């Protein structure tokens, strides 16, 4: 019965996806709708039978339910047999109802709406064991799309996002303050970027932490498409094509849904980009030659199709974990009257920024021609209050400890194994975040068993400390978070993401190849850190430079339990996370009727 229902739904979905969803429309003031979606999640395969003779017959690669990717056949996890999963494009104020059907053989799921703050609809944030129980069968998300801008959705369970469970979530406005800057904001101008691999993430994760496998990516995809750049012999595959109308200014919405540490440099041959929005929030337009997106970030840009009619490369070059295998990709900016062919210029890996201005460079805060987040201005002017009620120091780093998830301190401790076996543990303030046994939002008593609080001694006896690390804030307090990456190991960075809020990015700095909490505090006390309090950019995800810091501020006006974490999936799943608890249980809307419950069953003997 379940299978029959599934296929019937699929046929309906195919028809719907060919026509476009009824909510995908020009937004008109006063016209808000209820937008219904069905998400069917299932283990699936790229280059499966739906792909027929792809890539020999190139048009077969675009058949419904064919996930061609870069032509490599591998298992994955998909929603509605699509990669990326179905995009949701609605208007501000629409009610979004998504029924998630978990068709996996043995795993649970949740969906997080990255970029929606869920004010008064906290039960929809989609974090397992924090805002809801994991979905075993089916679950309905039902919320108002309250934040306009470019966002995305993804599973927040295990490695799902890494396996393909993500998609665009775009909220347009009837009256967009940036409207004068572009002529066309098409539904197809949404570009979901991701790093890509040729094995599944579970093999990768287990291989990385229980054996000696690397954690490097093997490619980059744009809207699930691209050429295999890791192959000995390259063969053609369909690329993403962005059609532009000569003479017109187009709005493109870029999303990095990536999983490993693969910051992506985006540039377009012979065209500058004007950045108009960061993480869905309007900014004073800033023209650049290239920009970097870290996992979880979004930037909206406009490009002016005012060059010679033709085809131009949009180049995507990966950094850090995308460097070892020289991961790059090309999408095509095609003028509508141009011939259907690839651009003539050679396409190759280049980890250097193209000449000109780069926005958001990796681990650099003051290079020539470089703009960082504190150089941007929010479009709507605002002043950040000079005083804060609560200040938190959040130190990200890899620690060389006996994480009992991979080491046995009695049998094979960290220091007794060869270097190739010494997997480091990503932590926050020397603690590995542990999920409680039930979501505190609806079952607050569950938190008591595992909670440890910021500023208190954690209840740990060994060098591996794990608990539900929580920062407590009263409703309405102003908060400053000084996020530091000590950078002791490697030359990585961490993209920090906070649920439930956008925050002002007031400072960003780098002290050296590595640093310490004490050094950052000393620098700050000596007046060495200037905070930008006039119209700083508002974001929900921001990079923290290696050996440096990023300082954010916000008013804690959204009560609830909000996860904050590194957005790199191996890091967050290993506990580079913490919980922000704002307000009291009485500040929350009532638990929805029939909301599922969960918990451990360990009765006393
Ligand atoms: Cu990280």
In the block, residue with structure tokens 């007031």: 506
Q: What is the pLDDT of residue 340?
A: 97
In angstroms, what is the span from residue 544 Cα to ligand 1's centroid?
Answer: 9
What distance in angstroms lies between residue 269's CA and the mean position of ligand 1's atoms? 31
- Distance between Cα 505 and ligand 1 center (Å): 19
**pLDDT given for residue 136 in this prediction:** 97
**Every domain range in the chain assigned CATH 2.60.40.420:** 2-362, 390-587
The pLDDT of residue 490: 76
506: left (phi over 0), alpha (psi -120 to 50) or beta: alpha
Q: Distance from the CA of 319 to the center of ligand 1, in angstroms?
A: 14
Task: Give residue 496 CA to ligand 1 midpoint distance, Å.
Answer: 8
CA–CA gap between residue 590 and residue 457 (Å, rounded): 33
DSSP E strands, 269-345: 273-278, 281-288, 290-293, 298-304, 311-318, 328-335
What is the reported pLDDT for 500? Answer: 98
Answer yes or no: CATH 2.60.40.420 is held by domain 390-587.
yes
Report the 3 state secondary structure along 429-486. Answer: CCEEECCCCCCCCCCHHHHHHCEEECCCCCCCCCCCCEEEEEEEECCCCEEEEEEEEC
Q: Is the peptide bond before 84 cis (omega within 30 degrees of 0)?
A: yes
Tokens of residue 339, six digits: 């011939």
Question: What distance in angstroms lies between residue 261's CA and the mean position of ligand 1's atoms?
Answer: 8
Going from the Cα of 577 to the center of ligand 1, the distance in angstroms, rounded, reads: 9
List pLDDT tens digits, range 309-324.
999 999 999 999 999 9
Question: pLDDT (tens digit, 9 = 90+) per residue, 507-561?
Answer: 999 999 999 999 999 999 999 999 999 999 999 999 999 999 999 999 999 999 9
Going from the Cα of 574 to the center of ligand 1, the distance in angstroms, rounded, reads 10
Tell me, in angstroms, the distance from the centre of ligand 1 to residue 545's CA. Answer: 11
CA 249–ligand 1 middle distance (angstroms): 36
Q: Which helix (H) or strand (E) holds 550?
A: strand 548-555
Q: Which residue has the higher pLDDT, 275 or 11?
A: 275
Cα four-point dihedral sign 116, 141, 576, 432: positive
Give the Å distance between the CA of 30 and the centre of ligand 1. Answer: 42
CA of 115 to the centre of ligand 1 (A): 19
**% of the chain residues with pLDDT over 70:** 97
Distance 537 CA to ligand 1 centre (A): 22
User: How many of the other CB atoms lie within 10 Å of CB of 158?
Assistant: 21
CA of 339 to the centre of ligand 1 (A): 43
pLDDT of residue 489: 81
Separation of alpha carbons 61 and 241, rounded Å: 14
Distance 575 CA to ligand 1 centre (A): 10
Span from the CA of 95 to the centroid of ligand 1 (angstroms) = 33
Reading the block at residue 313, the tokens are: 């490369």
Q: How far is ligand 1, taken at its centre, from the CA of residue 423, in Å? A: 14
Cβ burial, residue 106 (10 Å; 0-12/13-18/19+): exposed
**From ligand 1's centre to the CA of 321, what distance in Å?**
12
The per-residue pLDDT for range 558-583, each reduced to its tens digit, is 999 999 999 999 999 999 999 999 99
CA of 394 to the centre of ligand 1 (A): 13
pLDDT tens per residue, range 408-465: 999 999 999 999 999 999 999 999 999 999 999 999 999 999 999 999 998 888 899 9
Identify the pLDDT of residue 369: 96
Q: Is the pLDDT of residue 106 over 50?
A: yes
> Ligand 1: distance of its center to the CA of 127 in Å?
18
Ligand 1 centroid from CA 337, angstroms: 44
Helix (H, G, I), strand (E, B) or coil at 10: helix
Q: How far is the CA of 495 from the centre of ligand 1 (A)?
A: 6
Per-residue CA distances from 272 to 265, 348, 355, 479 (Å):
14, 20, 11, 37
Distance from the alpha carbon of residue 570 to the mean position of ligand 1, in angstroms: 8
Q: How far is the CA of 565 from the centre of ligand 1 (A)?
A: 8
Ligand 1 mean position, distance from CA 492 (Å): 8
Residue 52 CB: number of other CB atoms within 10 A? 13
| Residue 581 near residue 472, CB atoms below 8 Å | yes
Q: What is the Å distance from ligand 1's center to 88 Cα?
A: 28
At residue 207, the pLDDT reads: 97
Cβ 89 vs Cβ 168: under 8 Å = yes
CA 149 / ligand 1 centre spacing (Å): 25
State how beta strands 281-288 and 95-102 pair. unpaired
Cis peptide before 55 (omega within 30 of 0): yes
pLDDT tens by residue, 215-248: 999 999 999 999 999 988 778 999 999 999 999 9
pLDDT of 296 over the 70 cut: yes
pTM as predicted: 0.96
State the pLDDT confidence band at 19, using cuts at 50, 70 and 90.
Answer: low
- Is residue 320 a contact partner of residue 265, using CB atoms and an 8 Å limit? no
Q: What is the pLDDT of residues 128-159, one digit of tens each?
A: 999 999 999 999 999 999 999 999 999 999 99
**Cα(260) to centroid(ligand 1), Å:** 9
Q: Are 313 and 330 contacting, i.e. CB atoms less than 8 angstroms apart?
A: yes
Predicted local confidence at residue 491, as pLDDT? 80
Determine the distance separating the centroid of ligand 1 and the alpha carbon of 572, expressed in angstroms.
7
- Ligand 1 centroid to Cα of residue 333, in Å, is 33
> Does residue 167 register a pLDDT over 50?
yes
Residues 6+ apart with CB under 8 A from 495: 294, 295, 296, 297, 541, 542, 543, 544, 566, 567, 568
Give me the numbers of helices (H) and strands (E) for the chain, helices first please. Answer: 5, 34
Between the CA of 367 and the centroid of ligand 1 the distance, in Å, is 23
Distance 566 CA to ligand 1 centre (A): 5
Nearest Cα neighbor of 483 from 502, 510, 462, 457 is 510
> Quick one: which of 469, 495, 472 has its CA closest to 483?
495
Domain topology for 2-362: Immunoglobulin-like (2.60.40)
């Amino acid at each position: 019965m379940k299978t029959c229902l599934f296929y019937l739904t699929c046929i309906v979905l195919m028809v719907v996806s060919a026509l476009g969803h009824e909510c995908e429309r020009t937004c008109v003031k006063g016209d808000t709708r209820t937008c219904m979606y069905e998400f069917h999640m299932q283990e699936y395969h790229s280059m499966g039978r739906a792909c027929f003779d792809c890539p020999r017959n190139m048009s077969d690669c675009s058949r419904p339910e064919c996930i061609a990717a870069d032509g490599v056949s591998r298992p994955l996890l998909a929603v509605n047999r699509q990669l990326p999963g179905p995009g949701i494009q609605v208007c501000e104020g629409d009610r979004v109802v998504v029924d998630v059907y978990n068709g996996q053989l043995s795993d649970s799921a949740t969906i997080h709406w990255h970029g929606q703050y869920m004010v008064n609809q906290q039960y929809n944030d989609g974090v397992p064991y924090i805002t809801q129980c994991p979905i075993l069968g089916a679950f309905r998300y039902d919320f108002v799309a309250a934040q306009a801008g470019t966002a995305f959705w993804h599973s927040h369970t295990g490695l799902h996002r890494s396996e393909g469970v993500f998609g665009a979530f775009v909220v347009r406005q009837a009256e967009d303050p940036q409207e004068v800057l572009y002529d066309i904001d098409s539904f197809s101008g949404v570009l979901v970027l991701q790093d890509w691999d040729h094995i599944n993430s579970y093999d990768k994760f287990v291989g990385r932490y229980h054996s000696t496998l690397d954690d490097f990516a093997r490619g980059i995809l744009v809207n699930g498409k691209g050429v295999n750049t890791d192959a000995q012999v390259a063969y053609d595959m369909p690329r993403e094509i962005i059609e532009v109308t000569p003479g017109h200014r187009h709005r493109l919405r870029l999303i990095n849904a990536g999983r490993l540490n693969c910051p992506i440099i985006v540039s377009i041959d012979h065209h500058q980009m004007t950045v108009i929005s960061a993480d869905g929030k309007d900014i004073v337009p800033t023209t650049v030659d290239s920009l970097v997106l870290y996992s979880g970030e979004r930037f909206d840009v406009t490009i002016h199709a005012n060059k010679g009619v033709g085809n131009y490369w949009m180049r995507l070059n990966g950094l850090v974990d995308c460097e070892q295998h020289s991961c790059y990709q090309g999408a095509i900016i095609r003028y509508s009257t141009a011939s259907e062919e690839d651009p003539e210029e050679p396409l190759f890996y280049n980890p250097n920024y193209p000449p000109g201005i780069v926005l958001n460079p990796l681990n650099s805060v003051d290079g020539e021609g470089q703009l960082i987040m504190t150089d941007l201005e929010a479009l709507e002017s605002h002043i950040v209050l000079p005083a804060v009620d609560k200040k938190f120091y959040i130190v990200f780093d890899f620690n060389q400890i006996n994480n009992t998830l991979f080491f046995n301190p009695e049998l094979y401790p960290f220091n007794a194994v060869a270097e190739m076996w010494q997997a480091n543990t990503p932590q926050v303030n020397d603690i590995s975040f542990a999920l409680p046994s039930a979501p505190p939002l609806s079952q607050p008593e569950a938190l008591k068993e595992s909670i440890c609080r910021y500023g208190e001694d954690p209840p740990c006896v060994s060098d591996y400390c794990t608990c539900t690390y929580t920062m407590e804030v009263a409703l309405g307090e102003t908060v400053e978070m000084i996020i530091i990456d000590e950078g002791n190991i490697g030359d990585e960075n961490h993209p920090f993401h906070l649920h439930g809020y956008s925050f002002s990015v007031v400072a960003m700095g780098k002290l050296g190849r590595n640093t310490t909490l004490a050094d950052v505090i000393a620098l700050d006390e000596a007046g060495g850190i200037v905070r930008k309090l006039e119209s700083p950019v508002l974001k929900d995800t921001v990079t923290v430079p290696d050996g440096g810091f990023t300082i954010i501020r916000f008013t804690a006006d959204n009560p609830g339990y909000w996860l904050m974490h590194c957005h790199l999936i191996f890091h967050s799943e290993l506990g580079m996370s913490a919980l922000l608890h704002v307000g009291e249980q009485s500040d929350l809307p009532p638990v929805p009727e029939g909301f599922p419950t969960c918990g451990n069953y360990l009765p006393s003997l």
